[in-house]
Amino acid sequence: MMNSWREVPRYTSALVGLAIIAALVGLALYGIIAIPYGEAERLWRGGEGVWIDNPRNAQPGWVNLFPGRNLPETIIVDSREGATKRSGRGSDSVNTVQISLDFDYPYDDFPSELNLFFDARSRERPPHASLFWLTPDGRMLSLGEQNVESSERYSISLDRRLARQLGGQSPEVALFADPARESPQPLQGRYQLLVEALLFEAGTDLDARLVVYGKVHGLAGTDHLRRDITVALLWGAAVALAFGLLAAVGSSVTTLIIAAMGVWYGRWADASIQRITELNLILPALPILILVGTLYTRSIWVILGIVILLGVFSASIKVYRAIFLQVKESPYIEASQAYGASNRRIILFYMVPRVIPVLVPGFVTLIPSFVFLEASLAILGLSDPVLPTWGKVLNDAQQNGALYKGYYYWVLGPAMLLMLTGLGFALVGFTLDRIFNPRLREL
C-alpha cells in the first residue's frame, strides 16, 4: 500500500493533477482567509451600498492585456480625498464653495456610467449646486443645477434631459466624445467636473464624489448587481471542494462499511442491503434533489446529507460486495474469528482495509462528480441562498442572458474552475487506477 503511494510521483499526469488540486485548495484557503464567512455572505447579498463603486457587468481586468485593448477602469475623484475644494464668502451670509473634480482619462473606450454623489450637511435650506464639465480640448458644458438634499446621487449617465441637450447621445458617451470625429471616439486627456455651490446657512458644508465607472474590474469582472465575481470564485472553490470531499468521503466510506456488514452478517442483512441498493439504483437522484430543493429547503448542508444518503446505496455496493465475498473466505478472517475478534473488529480492521486500494481511485474521481452535482443544482436555481458558489454565478449568468449579451467572462470563470476541478481529480484518479488496478499496472 505504502509502496503504491510512493509510485505516484512517477506519473506526470498525477503531478499535473496534484498541482491543479493544490492550486484549487490554495484558492479556497485564500478565499476563506481573505474573506471570512460572514463577510462573504454580506458581500454576496450585496445591495447598492456594498458595491456602489463597481461598474455593472464589467469585464475582467486581464482583457486589457490583449493587444489593441484599452478599456477604462473605474476612476473615483472625491472632494474629501485629493480633489481641490475652495470656499469663499458671498453676499448676505451666503457662502460659496467650488469643488473641482479633475481626472486623467487615457482610455480608448467610453466609461460605462457616470455618477456624482453629494454629501450635504445643512439644516433647513439645502445648498444649490451648478455643475460644469470641462473637456481636455477646452470646451465647457453645463450639466445643469440642482438643490442638494443631504446624501444624494446624481446619475449623470441616466439624465435624459442632459442627453437631449447633448444631442441625443447618452451622457457618458457625449461628455467624453471627440467632437472632431464622425463616429464617437473618446477624447483622451484631463477632464474636470466643476461643482459651484451656494450655501445658504452657516455651518453648511458640501462634498462631492465623482465615479467614472470603467468597463473592466478586478480579476473576474462584475455581474449585473455590480458584485465582484472574484468573491464567488474564491468562495465557490471552498464550497465546491468541501461539498465534493464530504459527499465523497461520506458516501464511499459508509458504502464500504455497509457492504462489508452485509457480506459478514449475510442472510437477511445481505439480502435487504442488496434490495435497497437495487431500489435506490432505479431512483433518479437529481429529480429527488430538485424536489427537496423546491419543496423543502435549499440549505447546502441538507442537500449534502441527502446526496450522501442517496450515494450510500449506490452501484459500488455491488462491486464491494463481490470483493468482500472473496475476502470473507480468506484464512486470515477465519483465524481472526478463532482468536475471538468481534464482528465489528473483523469488519473494520480485517475486511474494509482490503478494499481500500479498489476504493481510492474511484473515490478520487467521485469528488468532482459531487462538485458537478452541486453546480448543476445551483444552475437549476436550487443552491444555498446565502453562499456564493460557482453554480450560482452560472445561474445568474444564464438568467441574465450573459452569453447572448456577450458577457462571456461571466460564464468563463466558474466554468473554467469547474473543468479544472474535474481535470485535476480525474488525472490523479486515473493515475491511482493505473497504480492500484493490477490489470492496468505498468511495470
Partner 1 sequence: MKAGAPLLLQVQDLRLYFRTTRGAVQAVDGLSFALGHRQALAVLGESGCGKSSLARAILRLLPRNVHTYTGQVFLNGAELMSLNEDRFRREVRWSGISLVAQAAMNSLNPVIKVGEQVMEPLVTHRRLNREEARQRASKALQLVGVPVDFLDRYAFELSGGMRQRVVIAMALVADPPLIIMDEPTSALDVLTQANIMNVLKGIKKEVGSSFLLITHDVATSSELADRIAVMYAGQLVELGDAAGFFPGPLHPYSKKLMTSVPRLRGGSRPEFIPGQPPSLINPSAGCRFAPRCSFRFNRCQEDPPLVEVEPGQWVKCWLYPANSNAGSHAG
**Contact set with partner 1 (CB under 8 A):** 1, 266, 330-332, 334-342, 345, 349-350, 353-354
| DSSP for residue 348 | I
Helix 229-265 / helix 352-379 crossing angle, nearest 10 deg? 140
Nearer to partner 1, 147 or 336 (CB): 336
Nearer to partner 1, 281 or 356 (CB): 356
Which DSSP helix (H) or strand (E) runs through 312?
A: helix 300-312
3-class SS of residue 207: strand
Spatial CB neighbours of 168, under 8 Å, sequence gap ≥ 6 = none
The amino acid present at 391, given as its one-letter code, is G
b/e burial code for range 297-336 (CB count within 10 A of at least 16 → b): ebebeebbebbbebbbbbebbebbbebbeebbeeeebeeb
Nearer to partner 1, 96 or 336 (CB): 336
**How would you class 80 by CB atoms within 10 Å of its CB: exposed for 0-12, middle for 13-18, buried for 19 or more?**
exposed
Nearer to partner 1, 340 or 438 (CB): 340
| DSSP for residue 123 | S
All 3 cell numbers of residue 254? 459508509
Phi, psi (5° rounding) for residue 397? -60, -45
Residue with cell 441527502: 306
Q: How far is the CB of 327 from partner 1 (least distance, A)?
A: 10
Q: How far is the CB of 304 from partner 1 (least distance, A)?
A: 30
Spatial CB neighbours of 404, under 8 Å, sequence gap ≥ 6 = none
All 3 cell numbers of residue 421? 476541478
Q: How far is the CB of 292 from partner 1 (least distance, A)?
A: 39
Sheet holding 84-89, edge to edge: 84-89, 95-105, 189-199, 128-134, 140-147
Nearer to partner 1, 1 or 65 (CB): 1
Q: How far is the CB of 335 from partner 1 (least distance, A)?
A: 3
**Beta pairing class for 205-213 and 75-78:** antiparallel
Q: How far is the CB of 338 from partner 1 (least distance, A)?
A: 4
Nearer to partner 1, 357 or 362 (CB): 357
Nearer to partner 1, 108 or 334 (CB): 334
Other beta carbons within 10 angstroms of residue 378's beta carbon come to 27
Nearer to partner 1, 268 or 404 (CB): 268
Nearer to partner 1, 142 or 330 (CB): 330
